[in-house]
Amino acid sequence: MRDPLAKKVVDIKPSGIRKFFDIVSEMKDAISLGVGEPDFDTPWHIRDEGIYALEKGRTFYTSNAGLKELREEICNYMNRTQGVTYDPMKQVLITVGGSEGIDMALRAMCDPGDEVLIPQPSYVSYEPCAVLTGAVPVIIDLKAENEFRLTAEEIEEKVTDRTKILILPFPNNPTGSIMEKSDLEAIAEVIVKHDLFVISDEIYGELTYKGKHVSIVTLPGMQERTILINGFSKAYAMTGWRLGYACGPANIIAQMTKIHQFAIMCAPTTSQYAAIEALKNGDADIDMMRESYNRRRRFLLNAFKEMNIECFEPFGAFYVFPCIKEFGMTSEEFAERFLREEKVAAVPGTAFGDSGEGYLRISYAYSLERLEEAMKRFARFAEKLRSEKKA
Ligand SMILES: Cc1ncc(COP(=O)(O)O)c(C=O)c1O
C-alpha cells in the first residue's frame, strides 16, 4: 500500500506541550502548572444563556459568519474597549476559538512561498498553520533583554521582498510579555513601509496588569492591514465552548468566511448565544478573574525573587517565564527532572520555539494553594540543584 499521509503533515513536529502532559497524566499526585486555561468555571449567567438556548430549541446552524447579534456585540465591544469601528456584516467572522481564526487568516492570505514573520517564543499553532498553507515561516527570536517584546529593528532584519505577514502575539503566551503603544507605533511604521499585513492574536487582551491593552488596530493605517483575533476562552473562562472571532478588512474576512463555510459551516450555536451574554454583561467577571490572576502573578514573582531566580515581570496573560540557565540544564531536562523528583509539571520554554531555551513556562491559572505548594517544591529543587553544582 502506498503511504496514505501527506509529507508536509507528517513533517510537522507534535506540540511539545502535549508530549509533556502525556507523562503528567500517568503520574499520581503531580501538580500541574502547565495548562493554559482558566481554572474558573464559565460565569453562571453565561452558562445559563447556553442552557436557555438549548431549551428554546436553538439547535440549528447559524449563518456561516455567525449570529448577527453576536457580530454586532463584538463590534460594540471593539468600539467601547479600543475605540475602533467594524461593520458587523462585512468585517467580523465568528470562529471555532481563536485557533480557527489564526488558521483561516493564514489560509486566506498566504500563497506558497510567501514569508510569514513569527516572533518566538510564542503560541504553538502559528508555525504549523503557516507551513500547511505552503508559506515559509521566518522566525524572529525575541530577546530576554527586551523582556521578550518585539522591536521594529528585529522585523527589519528579517524582511525580504517575499515577506507578507507579521504574526503579532501579544499579550504573549508563554512569556506574559505585553507591547505598549510606543512599541506598536514603531512596528506600525515598518509594516506600512514594507506593505505588510498583521495577524494580531489578542486572545489575552483582557488579561493585562499594567493599564489597558492597546491593540495595533488603533494606530493610523493599521486597521486596514490587520486581522485581529480574539475569543472567549481566556477572558470569560470558556475554553470548552470553542468560540472566537476575527475582525478585519472586508475583503480578507470574505475569503476567510468562504473557507470557514467549507471547513466548519458555522461555530457552535449554543456557544454563540452564550457569548452574546458574555459581551453584554461579562465585564465584572473579567475584572474579578483578572484581579485573582494578578494576586497569583504577584505571589509567583515574589517567590522567584526569594529563591533568587531571575524572572522578569510579565504584565499580561497568565504565565511567568523564569530563567533556569544557572542550573546548566536544557529546559527540557530541567522540566523532566522537576516532574520526576518533585512531581510538579511546568512546560519547557523550548515548546514555544528554540528561543525559549533556558526558560520554563509556569501558568498561574491555578489556585493560590496549589501555587504555594508548587513554589515550596521549586525552592527545594533549586536548593538541591545548587548544592549538586557546588559538590
Ligand atoms: C496565544 C494564544 N492564541 C490562541 C489560542 C487559542 O485559543 P482558543 O482556540 O481556545 O480561542 C491560545 C490558547 O492557548 C493561545 O494561548
Alpha carbon distance 217, 287 (integer Å): 23
Q: Is 233 in the pocket of ligand 1 (CB under 6 A)?
A: yes
Q: Are strands 244-247 and 92-95 parallel, antiparallel or unpaired?
A: antiparallel
Helix (H) or strand (E) holding 115: strand 115-120
Q: Is 97 in the pocket of ligand 1 (CB under 6 A)?
A: yes
Site to substitute for ligand 1 among 99, 120, 127, 213, most atoms within 8 A of C-beta = 99
Q: Is 244 in the pocket of ligand 1 (CB under 6 A)?
A: yes
Kindly list the domain boundaries of the chain, sorted by start residue. 7-42+284-384, 44-282
Cα of 98 vs centre of ligand 1, distance in Å, is 6
Whose C-alpha lies nearest to ligand 1, atom 13?
36
Alpha carbon distance 384, 391 (integer Å): 11
Q: Is 15 in the pocket of ligand 1 (CB under 6 A)?
A: no
Sole residue written with cell 456584516: 89
Crossing angle for the helix pair 368-390 and 283-306, to the nearest 10 degrees: 20
Are the beta carbons of 214 and 187 closer than 8 angstroms? no
Task: Please report the atom of ligand 1 found closest to the CA of residue 172.
Answer: 1
Task: Please report the atom of ligand 1 found closest to the CA of residue 201.
Answer: 3
Cα of 178 vs centre of ligand 1, distance in Å, is 16
Whose C-alpha lies nearest to ligand 1, atom 14?
36
Nearest Cα neighbor of 36 from 362, 375, 358 is 362
Helix (H) or strand (E) holding 320: strand 319-320
For the domain with range 44-282, which CATH number is right: 3.40.50.150, 3.90.1150.10, 3.40.640.10, 3.20.20.70? 3.40.640.10
Q: Is 173 in the pocket of ligand 1 (CB under 6 A)?
A: yes
- pTM exceeding 0.75: yes
- Tens of pLDDT along the chain (391 residues)? 999 999 999 999 888 777 677 777 778 788 989 888 899 999 999 999 999 999 999 999 999 999 999 999 999 999 999 999 999 999 999 999 999 999 999 999 999 999 999 999 999 999 999 999 999 999 999 999 999 999 999 999 999 999 999 999 999 999 999 999 999 999 999 999 999 999 999 999 999 999 999 999 999 999 999 999 999 999 999 999 999 999 999 999 999 999 999 999 999 999 999 999 999 999 999 999 999 999 999 999 999 999 999 999 999 999 999 999 999 999 999 999 999 999 999 999 999 999 999 999 999 999 999 999 999 999 999 999 999 888 7
Q: Is 348 in the pocket of ligand 1 (CB under 6 A)?
A: no
For the domain with range 7-42+284-384, which CATH number is right: 3.20.20.80, 3.40.720.10, 3.90.1150.10, 3.30.930.20? 3.90.1150.10
